Structure 1
Amino acid sequence: MKSTALFGLVIKPFNWLRKIRGFRLVYTPLLAIVLFTVVMGIILGTLHLQEKGQQEAALFRELSFAKQRIQLRFANNADSLNTINREIAASSEDTKLRQLVREQADDLVLNNHEIVKIIWLNAENTKQWTVPVNNAKTDWISKTQNDQAVNEGLNKAIELSRATSRAAFSQFISLNLSDEEPLVKDRRTVFWQVAPNIVGGQVIGFLAALYTTQGILDIIPGELKAHYRFTLLTDKERVLSISSDRDTPKRAFSNQTSLDIGVLSPNLVLRIDTYPPPTNLTFRMLIGVVIGLSAFVIWSLWSVLKQMQVRQEAEANLSTETSFRNAMENSTPVGIRAHDMQKRITYVNRAFCEMTGWSAKELVGLLPPFPFWPDARRDELVDKMNRALLSDTGSKTGIEGAILRRDGSLIQTRTFIAPLINERGKQTGWVTSLIDISEPKKIREELAASQERFITVLEGLDAAVSVVDLESDQLLFANRFYRENFGDDSKGHFQLAGNANNLETLHDVAEDLQDSPPGIPTSFLYQESESEEIQLSDGSNKWYEVRRRFIPWVDGHLAQLLIATDITARKEADESARLQEERMQFTSRLTTMGEMASSLAHELNQPLSAISNYCMGVAKRLEGNLDPALTKDILPALEKASEQAHRAGTIIQRIRGFVKRSEPQRKSTAISEIINDAVGLVEIEAHRHRLTMTSNITENLPEVDIDPVLILQVLVNLLKNGLDSTREAYPLSSRWSAPAVNISADLDTSIFPAMLRIQVSDGGSGIPELVSQRMFEPFFSTKSDGMGMGLNICRSIIESHQGRLWAVNRMDAEHTKLAGCTFTILLPLVSPEAAGNV
C-alpha cells in the first residue's frame, strides 16, 4: 500500500511536467503572438499619434500657404488697378495711351482667372468701357436674369468707395443660373472690387473688377487641390465656392482661417479638408504583415502538396504525350529530323530513315554536307539550308531539294524548317520535315507544259477570251486581246454578255445551281448560245461577235466562258456600202428629177404663155365694150391672171436654168439678178411653210466675173438651209413671229482689195459646236434624208472662185442663248484671169 502511494507520488510530478511541456509546446507560439500583437499595438498607437500631429501641422502649413497666395494675388490686383487708374488719369487727352490702358486692363483679366471683367466708370457712374469686349468670359452675365443684382452690388460698392475714398468690395452676389449653363459652377457667386480714381482730391471715376469666388480658389496651386479640398465661406458659415465636389471622409482633418483681402472687404473664411482619412498606415501594414506571414506559411504547405500532385500528373501526361508523339512520328510518311545550333543531326524518325536508306545511328551526329545529298548538288543544298535557317522562307513555302538514297536512286523532296524552342523560350536548334514530291512534281511539270501551250494559243488569238465566276462576278481568266481592250476586271465581260437583265439572269442561274444537288448538269453546261452581234455602249462604237457558254471552273463553281471577235471593220464596211448605195440611189433620183424638171419646164412654159396671151387678148377686147361697173371687176381679174401665168412661167424658167447642167462658164454678172433668182426659187417653199424671206442689196454694186449657175446653186442651198433651221426652231403655230430669212449683198471694204460680201442669216437655233466642226465635211449631214454634200459642194464652188465661205452663230440680246446663224460669202470683184490680162 505504501509502495503504491509512493509510486503515485513519484508519477504525479512526471505527469505535471508532461502537461507543462505540452502546454508550452501548444501555447508558447500563441503567447508569443499575443505579446507580439500587444507590443505592435503600442508601437502603432504611438506612431498613429505622431502621424496625426504631423498631418495637422502639414495641414496648417498648406492652409497658411494658400492664404498667402490669395492675399498676395489680391494685393497685386489692387496695385494693378491703381496703376491703371493713374494711367487713365494721365491719358485723358491721348488716344493711343487710352488704348494702351485698355490693353493693360485686358491683359489683367486674361492673366487672372478670378477676374471676370473690368469696367471703367466716370464720376457720374456712367460706364465708359469694358474689357474684355465680346468675350464668352462675360457674355453669360448679359444672357441671364442677373443684371439687376450685379448692377446693384456694383452701385453699393461704388458708393462705399466714394464715401471712404478707398478701394471697396461689394457683398457676395449669388446668381441664378441654369444647370445647363456652361461653367455654371465657376460663375455661381461673384463680387465687385471698386478702386476710386482720385486726382487732385476729386474722384474722376471708378475702376471696377468683377471677381468670382470660384476663381479665387483657382489661385491655389493644383497640386494642393489634388490632396486637399478648399472651401470659401462667409463669417456666417455660408459656402461660397468649393474646389471639388468630392466628399471628404468623416475622420478627415480640417482647419480654417480668415482671409483679409482688403480694408473694406467682406469677411472671407478659407477652410481646408483632407481627402484621405487619417489612418495609421504603419499599424495596418504590420498587422497585414503578421496575418500575411501566417497565411503564407499555411499556403506554402498547401502549395507544396498541390505542386506534388501537379507534378505527378504532368509526368503521367508527359509520358502519354511522348508515347503519342512517337506513335505519330512512326506512322507518318513525312521524314522528320532535328538539328542543334551547330546544324548537327540530333534526331531522325523512322520515315526519314526509310526515305534515305540510312539508320538512325548512322545519321545522328552528322554535320552538313550529309551523305544522302547528291554529290553534284551538295554546295547548292548547303547554301539553301544556310539561307533557310536564317530566314522564315523554309517554314512558309518550303525548300525544294533532292535525296540520294543508299541504293543510288534519287528522289525529289520539299523541306519545311521551324525553330526548336525550349521551355525557357530559347532556341536550341531546328526541326525539318521532308515530303517526297517526285511524282507530284512530274505531274505538275507535265500540266505546266500543257497549260503553257494552251495559254500560248489563247494569247495569240485576235479575239477576247474571258471566264467569269457567276457567284462573285470575279474575272477568272482573260487573254491578251481582252486585257488590252477591256482591262483586268470583269466589266468588259458583262458589257459583252448583254444588258443588266441578262446579268441578273446569270446570277439567278448560279443561285439555282448552288441550291440544287451537288454537281452541274452536263446538259446545261454544253448548251452553247448562238453568235450575237453586240455594240459597246462605252463611246467606242465597237462591234463584237459574241459566243457564250457555261463551264465548271477548277474549283467546282459555275463560270461563263465568252469569246468575242472584233467585227467593227466589217460593220463599218457594211454601213459604208449601205450609205454609198443610198447616196447612189438618191443621186440617180436627183438626176432623173432634174431631167423631168427640165422637160416639165419646157412643156409647161408654152401653155402658160398661151394662157397669158389669151387673158391679155380678152382684156383688150373687153375694153370699151362692157359696162364700166363690170369692167371694174373683170379687167383687174384678167390682168392678175395674166400676171400670175407670167410669174409661173418665170419660176419654171428659173427652175429649168437651175437644173440645166452645163460646163462652168464665168461671165460678168450683176449679183442682184442672181439673188433675185435664188429668192424666187426658194420663196415657194418658204410660203408653203408659212415663213418669210427678205433681201437687202446695196445699190450700184459692181458686176463680178462669176459662174451665175454655180453661184445660184450656192445661194439656193444656203437659203434652203436657213428655212430648215427656222422651221425646226419655230413650230407651225408660232411661225407668225419667226424672223425672216434674210439675204444681203454689199462691199466689204475692211480688207484690201475690197470684195463682194453676201450674207444669209436665219433666226433658228444656231449650229452646235460639234456640228460646226464637221458641217463642211463630205457626206456629213444632220438631216435624216440628207446626203451631206450640199455645204461641201458650196465651199468648193466658192473656193473655185477664189472666195471664202464660213458660218458664225448669233446670240440673242441678253447673250444667253443662240439666236440663229449667218453664212458669209466673200467673192473677189475681179477674177484672177482678168487681173492677169490687165
Structure 2
Amino acid sequence: MKFSALFSLLLSPFKWLRKIRGFRLVYTPLLAIVLFTSVMGVILGTLHLQEKTQQESALFRELSFAKQRIQLRFANNLDALTTINREIAASEDQVKLKQIAYEQANDLVRNNHEIIKIISLNEKIQYLWTVPLSNAKADSSRKNPNDQLTNEGLASTVELSRVTSRAAFSQFISLNSLDDDPLANERKVVFWQVVPNFVGGEIVGYLAALYTAQGVLEVVPAELKAHYRFTLLADNEKVLAMSSDRGIPKRAFSNQTSLDIGVLSPNLTLRIDTYPPPTNLTFRMLIGVVIGLCAFVIWSLWSVLKQMQVRQEAEANLRTETSFRSAMENSTPIGIRAHDMQKRITYVNRAFCEMTGWSAKELVGLTPPFPFWPDARREELAEKMNRALKSEVISKTGIEGVILRRDGSQIQTRTFIAPLINEKGKQTGWVTSLIDISEPKKIREELAASQERFITVLEGLDAAVSVVDLETDALLFANRFYRENFGDDSKGHFKLAGDSNNLETLHDLAEDLQDSPPGIPTPFLYQESESEEIQLEDGNKWYEVRRRFIPWVDGHLAQLLIATDITMRKEADELSRQQEERMQFTSRLTTMGEMASSLAHELNQPLSAISNYCMGVAKRLDGHIDPALNKEILPALEKASEQAHRAATIIQRIRGFVKRSEPQRKSVSITEIINDAVGLVEIEAHRHRLSITSDLAENLPEINIDPVLILQVLVNLLKNALDSVREAYPLSSRWSAPPVKISADLDTSTFPAMLRIRVTDAGGGIPVAVIERMFEPFFSTKSDGMGMGLNICRSVIESHHGRLWASNIMDSEQTKLTGCTFTILLPLESPDSKARVE
C-alpha cells in the first residue's frame, strides 16, 4: 500500500504536466489567432479612417473649387453688366448706343446659361429693351401666369438697388410649370440681379438680369458633376436646384458651404455629395482574406476539438450501448439469432434458447437444416429461408414458420430477416427475429370464422346495411343489398338518412363527441331512432330506415343505417286507396243512376200531362177566339207542349246514358242544334246583361249524333261560359263585356277531317290545378255544384267517339289569363255506320 501511494505521488506531477501540455496544444493557437485578428483589425481600421479623411479632404477641395467658379462667374457677370451701363452712359448717339448695348447683352446671355434674359430700364423703371427679344404678338395673345411673379420680384429688387445705390439680388422665385415650355424644369427657380447705372452721381437707369438656380450649377465643370452631386439650398434647406436626380447611397460623404455672390444677395448654400459610395477594393480584399484565414483556422481547431469530444462520447456511448443491448436482448421475449454468409448461426439470445429448449452452446455453429425444424417441414422451411435471404427487399410482414421444441411440442412463429452490415458497409450476415404467434393466430382464426358467419348473415339480408364515419364521410361497411342498389360510396347512405341538412348536424355532433372527455354514455350511442319512410328523389322506391350511432373499431363515431325496401307495400297501399276511391265513385254513380231513373219515371207523366193539356187547350181555342189572340196564344201553347216533350226526351236520354245504353243517333244538322242551344241560353244571358254570338261555317255536313245529348252538352258549356264572364265582370260594367262566342267548322288538321265546335269566353280563365281535375266526377269549384256536369259532357262526347278539352287564353304579353276555350271534336261518320258500310 505504501509503495503504490508513493508511486501515485511520483506520477502526479506528470499528470499535471500532461494536462498543461494538452491545454497549451489546444488553446495556444486560439490565443494567437485572436491576437492576430485584433492587430489586423486595428491596422485595417486605421487605414480605413485615413482613407476616409483623405476622401473628405478631396471633397472639401472640390467644393471650394466649385464655389470659386460660381463666385467668379457672378463677379464677371457683374462686371459685364457694369460695362454695359458704362457704355450706355458714355455714348451720345442713342441709336448706336442701343445697338452696342444690345449686342453686348445678347453675347452675355448667349455665353452664360445661368442668365435667362437681361432687361434695360430707365430711371422711371420703364422697359427700354429686352435680351433676348420676346415675341410681342405671342405675349399679347396669352398671359403667362409667371410674368406677375417675376415682375413683382423685379420691382422689389429695383427698389432695393435704388435705396442702397448698389447692385442687388431678389429673393428666389418659384415658377409654375407650363406645358408649352420645354425648359420649365430648368427654370423652376429664378432670381433677379439689378445693377444701377450712375451718371454724375445720379441713377439714370438699371440693368436687370434674370438668373436660374439650375443654370448656376452649369458653372460647375462637367467632370466634377460626373463624380459628385451638387445642390443649391436656401436658408430653410429648400432645394433650389440639383445637378443630377440620381440617388446617393446612405454611406456617401457630404459637405456644404455658403455662397457669397454679392453684398445684397440672399443666403445661398452649395452642397456636394459623393456617388457611388467610396470603396477600396484592395482594402476590402485584404479584410476578406484576413477574416477568411482566421475563420478557417478557428474552424479547423474547432473541428479537432469536436472530433476529440465525439470520439470520447462515441466510446462512452459504445460501452453504454453494449450494456443496453445486452440487457434488452436478455429481457425481450422475441427470439434473436444471427447468421454469417454461410448461414451458420453465430449468435442467439436467451429468449431464443428458451423458445427452442436448446442452449446457446448447442445452437451456435449449426447450419441448415436446424434441429428445431420439424422433420416433415424441413424442406419447406429451408426454401423459405433461402428465398428470404436472397431477396433484396426486407419483408414487413415476415415469414410464418414452425419451431419444434426440444420436448417435442410445436409453436407457430413469424420470422423477420434483415441484413447485417459492418462499419465498412459490407454485409457480413443476417439477423433474424422470431415472434411466437401461436395464441394470436388461434384467436385470429376464431375471429375470422366469426366474422365470416356475421358477413354471411349480413350479405343474405334483403335490406341495405351501411356504416359511415361521421368525421370523414367514408363508407366503412356495406352489405350486398346496399352495394347493388347504391354503389360503393356513402352517397346512398346520406340519401337514406333524410334531409341533406342533417349532414352538417352529424359533423357537428361527431366533432363535439370527439372533443368531449372519454366515457361517452352507452345509452346515447346505442339509442335507436324511430323508423322513417323515405322516398328517394331519383326513383319511385320507398325505404323504411332505422339508424343509430355506434363507436367504430378505431374509436371514431359512426352511424349505422338499416334500410328495408317497402316499395311493394307502398304500391299495394296506393292501389288499395285508388280501389277504394273507385268504389266510392261507383257507389255514387250508381246512386245517381238510380236517382235519374226514379226522376225520369216520376217526371215523365207530369211532362206528358202538361204536353197533352197544352195541345188540348190549343184545339179548344182554335177557331173560338179572336184571330189576333189566336196568333199569340196558340204558338205559345205549341212551344210549351214542344218543350215539355223535349224535357221528357232529355230525361229519357239521360236515363239511357246512365244505364250505359248507346246514344240514339240520327243524321242532323249541327247548325240547328247550335241555334237551339243559343236560343235556350240567351234568356239567361240577357237576364245577366250578357250576349252570345255564333260563328258557323257554311255548308257544314250533317253528322250522325244524338241531338238531344249534344244539345245538352252545348247548353252546359254555354252556361259555364256565361258564369265565367259574370264572375269576371261586375254588373255595372257588363255592357262592355265581350260576348260568349260559339263557333263550328271543319278541322282538317286530322285525317279524316272532324267537326270542331268551340265555346270561347272572356272570363278569368281556369287555374292550372283546376284544369287538371275539372273532368273528374264530383269535383266542382262551385259551392252549390255536384261536380258531374263536365264529367257527363265528356262522357257524352266520348260515347260519340269524339274529344272534349279546355285550354286557357293568355294576353299578348303571356302574363295574364284572359279567357278559356272548350273544344269539341266529333267524327263526321260514326264508327258504327262505317262498319255497316263495310
- TM normalised by structure 2 equals 0.55
The percentage of aligned residue pairs carrying the same residue is 58
The answer to whether the Cα contact below 8 Å between 1:459 and 1:479 also exists between their aligned partners in 2 is yes
**How big is the shift at 1:766?**
6.6
2: CA distance between counterparts of 1:35 and 1:463? 90
2: CA distance between counterparts of 1:684 and 1:572? 52
Q: Which residue of 2 aligns with 1:19?
A: none
2: CA distance between counterparts of 1:274 and 1:569? 94
1:379 aligns with one of 364, 380, 383 = 383
**How big is the shift at 1:374?**
3.6
Code of the residue aligned with 1:171 in structure 2: it is E
Q: Which residue of 2 aligns with 1:542?
A: 541
2: CA distance between counterparts of 1:328 and 1:31? 50
Q: Where in structure 2 are the equivalents of 1:209-220 lying within 5 Å?
A: none
The answer to whether the Cα contact below 8 Å between 2:175 and 2:187 also exists between their aligned partners in 1 is no
**How big is the shift at 1:668?**
0.7
1: CA distance between counterparts of 2:647 and 2:779? 29
- The structure number with the bigger radius of gyration is 2
Q: Where in structure 2 are the equivalents of 1:476-491 lying within 5 Å?
A: 476-488=476-488
Q: Which residue of 2 aligns with 1:322?
A: 322
The answer to whether the Cα contact below 8 Å between 2:610 and 2:644 also exists between their aligned partners in 1 is no
Code of the residue aligned with 2:542 in structure 1: it is W
Change (3 A) 1:48 1:565: closer
Change (3 A) 1:322 1:587: same
Q: Which residue of 2 aligns with 1:814?
A: 813
Q: Where in structure 2 are the equivalents of 1:25-36 lying within 5 Å?
A: none
Code of the residue aligned with 1:577 in structure 2: it is S
Does 1:390 find its partner at 2:386?
A: no
Give secondary structure in 1 for the equivalent of 2:756: strand
The answer to whether the Cα contact below 8 Å between 2:335 and 2:352 also exists between their aligned partners in 1 is yes
Give secondary structure in 2 for the equivalent of 1:660: helix
1: CA distance between counterparts of 2:719 and 2:405? 102
Q: Which residue of 2 aligns with 1:660?
A: 656
**How big is the shift at 1:607?**
4.8
2: CA distance between counterparts of 1:329 and 1:689? 115
Q: Which residue of 1 aligns with 2:186?
A: 171
Code of the residue aligned with 1:657 in structure 2: it is R
Does 1:447 find its partner at 2:447?
A: yes
Code of the residue aligned with 1:568 in structure 2: it is T
2: CA distance between counterparts of 1:640 and 1:485? 78
Q: Where in structure 2 are the equivalents of 1:280-295 lying within 5 Å?
A: 280-281=283-284, 283-284=286-287, 288=291
1: CA distance between counterparts of 2:489 and 2:383? 45
Q: Where in structure 2 are the equivalents of 1:194-593 lying within 5 Å?
A: 231=229, 240=242, 241-244=244-247, 246-250=249-253, 273-275=275-277, 277-278=279-280, 280-281=283-284, 283-284=286-287, 288=291, 296=298, 300=301, 311-337=311-337, 347-356=347-356, 360=360, 372=373, 374-384=378-388, 386-387=390-391, 389-390=392-393, 394=395, 397-405=396-404, 407=406, 410-416=410-416, 432-467=432-467, 475-488=475-488, 492-493=492-493, 496=496, 518=519, 520-521=521-522, 532=531, 534-536=533-535, 538=537, 540-547=539-546, 553-554=552-553, 561-593=560-592
**How big is the shift at 1:572?**
1.5
Q: Which residue of 1 aligns with 2:7?
A: none
**How big is the shift at 1:596?**
1.3
The answer to whether the Cα contact below 8 Å between 1:710 and 1:797 also exists between their aligned partners in 2 is no
After superposition, the CA RMSD in angstroms is: 7.1
Give secondary structure in 2 for the equivalent of 1:274: coil
**How big is the shift at 1:666?**
3.7
Change (3 A) 1:751 1:593: closer
The answer to whether the Cα contact below 8 Å between 1:612 and 1:645 also exists between their aligned partners in 2 is yes
What is the CA deviation profile of residues 540-566 of structure 1, one whole-angstrom value per residue up to 9, with x for unaligned ones? 353334455666654567766543322
**How big is the shift at 1:738?**
8.6
Change (3 A) 1:318 1:384: closer
What is the CA deviation profile of residues 562-618 of structure 1, one whole-angstrom value per residue up to 9, with x for unaligned ones? 433222212222221221222122122123213313432443465567789999999
1: CA distance between counterparts of 2:591 and 2:574? 26
What is the CA deviation profile of residues 430-449 of structure 1, one whole-angstrom value per residue up to 9, with x for unaligned ones? 65543222332232223223
**How big is the shift at 1:498?**
6.2
The answer to whether the Cα contact below 8 Å between 2:794 and 2:803 also exists between their aligned partners in 1 is no
**How big is the shift at 1:346?**
5.8
1: CA distance between counterparts of 2:521 and 2:653? 78
Q: Where in structure 2 are the equivalents of 1:625-704 lying within 5 Å?
A: 654-661=650-657, 662-672=661-671, 674-675=673-674, 696-698=695-697, 700-704=699-703
2: CA distance between counterparts of 1:590 and 1:558? 60
**How big is the shift at 1:459?**
1.6
| Structure 1 residue ranges without an equivalent (≥5) | 1-29, 58-122, 126-146, 158-167, 176-211, 214-227, 255-268, 623-631
**How big is the shift at 1:417?**
5.5
Q: Which residue of 2 aligns with 1:99?
A: none
The answer to whether the Cα contact below 8 Å between 2:649 and 2:708 also exists between their aligned partners in 1 is no
The answer to whether the Cα contact below 8 Å between 2:249 and 2:276 also exists between their aligned partners in 1 is no
Give secondary structure in 1 for the equivalent of 2:537: coil
- TM normalised by structure 1 equals 0.55
2: CA distance between counterparts of 1:733 and 1:563? 65
Code of the residue aligned with 1:583 in structure 2: it is R
1: CA distance between counterparts of 2:32 and 2:339? 64
1: CA distance between counterparts of 2:516 and 2:379? 58
1: CA distance between counterparts of 2:405 and 2:597? 111
2: CA distance between counterparts of 1:606 and 1:286? 141
**How big is the shift at 1:484?**
3.6
1: CA distance between counterparts of 2:647 and 2:671? 17
The answer to whether the Cα contact below 8 Å between 1:615 and 1:642 also exists between their aligned partners in 2 is yes
Code of the residue aligned with 2:186 in structure 1: it is Q
What is the CA deviation profile of residues 728-760 of structure 1, one whole-angstrom value per residue up to 9, with x for unaligned ones? 996999997997765421234677875422234
The answer to whether the Cα contact below 8 Å between 2:615 and 2:641 also exists between their aligned partners in 1 is no
Deviates more, 1:447-456 or 1:336-345: 336-345
Code of the residue aligned with 2:653 in structure 1: it is G
| Structure 2 residue ranges without an equivalent (≥5) | 1-30, 59-136, 140-173, 191-213, 216-225, 257-270, 622-628
Change (3 A) 1:576 1:589: same
The answer to whether the Cα contact below 8 Å between 2:340 and 2:428 also exists between their aligned partners in 1 is yes
Code of the residue aligned with 1:658 in structure 2: it is I
The answer to whether the Cα contact below 8 Å between 1:714 and 1:797 also exists between their aligned partners in 2 is no
Give secondary structure in 2 for the equivalent of 1:466: strand
The answer to whether the Cα contact below 8 Å between 1:651 and 1:680 also exists between their aligned partners in 2 is no
Give secondary structure in 1 for the equivalent of 2:275: strand
2: CA distance between counterparts of 1:418 and 1:685? 110
The answer to whether the Cα contact below 8 Å between 1:776 and 1:795 also exists between their aligned partners in 2 is no
Code of the residue aligned with 2:812 in structure 1: it is A
Q: Which residue of 2 aligns with 1:200?
A: none
Code of the residue aligned with 1:747 in structure 2: it is L
1: CA distance between counterparts of 2:393 and 2:275? 65
Q: Which residue of 1 aligns with 2:165?
A: none
2: CA distance between counterparts of 1:31 and 1:461? 90
The answer to whether the Cα contact below 8 Å between 1:729 and 1:765 also exists between their aligned partners in 2 is no
